[in-house]
């Protein structure tokens, strides 16, 4: 019994220490979150909602939404930041009493400084655009090594074309003008005949398609299949007849 009591006492003491450690860690996290949020609001010095602060600090500091909401409410209760309620939305901003009062002269100096910075920013943006365009042009252009290889390829191509031209010039079997005219005339005759037959075939096909239940594509596919079967049957019979005559069998 005494041994069991000692074990229970040790476990109870260990549990209390663990709870105290977890509580300290949670408090340190809350303090850290509150410090980060307070520094952020003082730096930006503009109104934010808890959702805005969460979105702006989530990636950089890994703050959770619940921690952000509780920390901002705690800071508002402590008076370190100010809170305004508009309907169902709460707006938080830095305590303006911690900043120095600014007179009209200081505001004019700030405005002139802001205008000067805006001009410098425009100049820098324009310079960046020029540099980006130049970089894009350089990236699209060939490097020195690529230019060297391209020049070598073009020279080889030119030498090959020059050799081919020399062979053509030195050849003796040139086509005479009379032969050229004859070939062109025959070509024109064949082209006219081809166009005539194509027009006749198109007219015939259009007449057939007027009462054909399927599409033109299906009709052409079917005709091609029939033509292949016809050719196969015809050439098969012709081959059989030739083999019979060659073997001396005659007609059957």
Task: Kindly report, residue by residue over 199-247, the tens digit of the pLDDT.
Answer: 998 888 888 888 888 887 887 787 767 767 666 676 565 565 556 555 5
User: Quick count: other Cβ atoms within 10 Å of Cβ 37?
Assistant: 27
Residues in Cβ contact with 219 at an 8 Å cutoff, skipping those fewer than 6 apart: 205, 208, 209, 212
d(CA 252, CA 241): 10
134 domain-assigned: no
Do 186 and 250 fall into the same domain?
no
- Does the pLDDT of residue 108 top 60, yes or no? yes
Residues in Cβ contact with 217 at an 8 Å cutoff, skipping those fewer than 6 apart: none
Do 203 and 230 fall into the same domain?
no
**Secondary structure of residue 104 in the 3-state scheme:** helix
190 domain-assigned: yes
pLDDT of residue 116: 93
d(CA 126, CA 130): 6
156 domain-assigned: no
Residues 81 and 75 sit within 8 Å (Cβ to Cβ): yes
154 domain-assigned: no
What's the total number of domains in the chain? 3
169 domain-assigned: no
Q: Which residue has the higher pLDDT, 13 or 138?
A: 138
Buried b or exposed e, range 67-79, using 16+ CB within 10 angstroms: bbbebbebbbeee
In the listed set 71, 98, 125, which residue is the last one of a domain according to the structure? 98
Residues 27 and 41 sit within 8 Å (Cβ to Cβ): no
Residues in Cβ contact with 159 at an 8 Å cutoff, skipping those fewer than 6 apart: none
Do 249 and 188 fall into the same domain?
no
In the listed set 98, 121, 143, which residue is the last one of a domain according to the structure? 98
Tokens, residue 17: 């220490």
pLDDT of residue 138: 85
pLDDT of residue 242: 57
In the listed set 50, 71, 98, which residue is the last one of a domain according to the structure? 98
Do 83 and 31 fall into the same domain?
yes
Residues 23 and 75 sit within 8 Å (Cβ to Cβ): no
Mean pLDDT of 131-139: 90
Do 47 and 17 fall into the same domain?
yes
85 domain-assigned: yes
d(CA 191, CA 183): 12
pLDDT of residue 168: 82
Distance of CA 202 to the CA centre of its chain: 47
Residues 71 and 33 sit within 8 Å (Cβ to Cβ): yes
Do 199 and 238 fall into the same domain?
no
- The domain in which residue 46 lies consists of 2-98
Do 42 and 59 fall into the same domain?
yes
**What does pLDDT average to over the chain?**
79
pLDDT of residue 157: 93
Do 191 and 252 fall into the same domain?
no
Which residue's structure tokens are 């702006």? 56
Residues in Cβ contact with 252 at an 8 Å cutoff, skipping those fewer than 6 apart: 244
What pTM value is reported for the model?
Answer: 0.38
- Does the pLDDT of residue 140 top 50, yes or no? yes
pLDDT of residue 237: 59
- Does the pLDDT of residue 196 top 70, yes or no? yes
Do 226 and 195 fall into the same domain?
no
Mean pLDDT of 194-200: 91
55 domain-assigned: yes
Do 188 and 236 fall into the same domain?
no
pLDDT of residue 29: 53
- Does the pLDDT of residue 166 top 80, yes or no? yes
Residues 11-61 pLDDT 10s: 555 444 445 443 443 445 556 888 888 888 888 888 999 899 889 888 887
CATH code of the domain containing 69: 1.10.10.10
58 domain-assigned: yes
Mean pLDDT of 152-174: 87
pLDDT of residue 79: 87
Do 219 and 195 fall into the same domain?
no
d(CA 142, CA 103): 60
Do 245 and 187 fall into the same domain?
no
């Amino acid at each position: 019994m005494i041994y069991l009591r000692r074990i229970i006492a040790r476990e109870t003491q260990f549990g209390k220490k663990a709870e105290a450690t977890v509580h300290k860690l949670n408090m340190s996290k809350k303090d850290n979150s509150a410090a980060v949020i307070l520094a952020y609001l003082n730096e930006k010095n503009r109104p934010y909602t808890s959702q805005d602060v969460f979105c702006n600090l989530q990636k950089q500091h890994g703050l959770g939404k619940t921690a952000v909401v509780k920390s901002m409410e705690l800071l508002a209760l402590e008076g370190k930041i100010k809170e305004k309620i508009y309907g169902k939305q709460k707006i938080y901003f830095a305590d303006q009493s911690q900043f120095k009062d600014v007179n009209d002269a200081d505001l004019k100096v700030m405005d002139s400084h802001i205008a000067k910075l805006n001009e410098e920013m425009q100049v820098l943006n324009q310079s960046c655009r020029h540099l980006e365009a130049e970089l894009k042009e350089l990236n699209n252009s060939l490097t020195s090594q690529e230019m060297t290889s391209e020049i070598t390829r073009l020279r080889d191509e030119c030498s090959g074309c020059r050799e081919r031209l020399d062979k053509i010039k030195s050849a003796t079997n040139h086509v005479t003008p009379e032969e050229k005219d004859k070939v062109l005339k025959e070509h024109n005759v064949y082209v006219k005949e081809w166009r005539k037959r194509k027009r006749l075939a198109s007219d015939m096909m259009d007449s057939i398609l007027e009462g054909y239940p399927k599409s033109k594509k299906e009709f052409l596919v079917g005709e091609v299949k029939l033509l292949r079967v016809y050719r196969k049957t015809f050439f098969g019979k012709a081959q059989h007849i030739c083999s019979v005559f060659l073997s001396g069998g005659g007609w059957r």
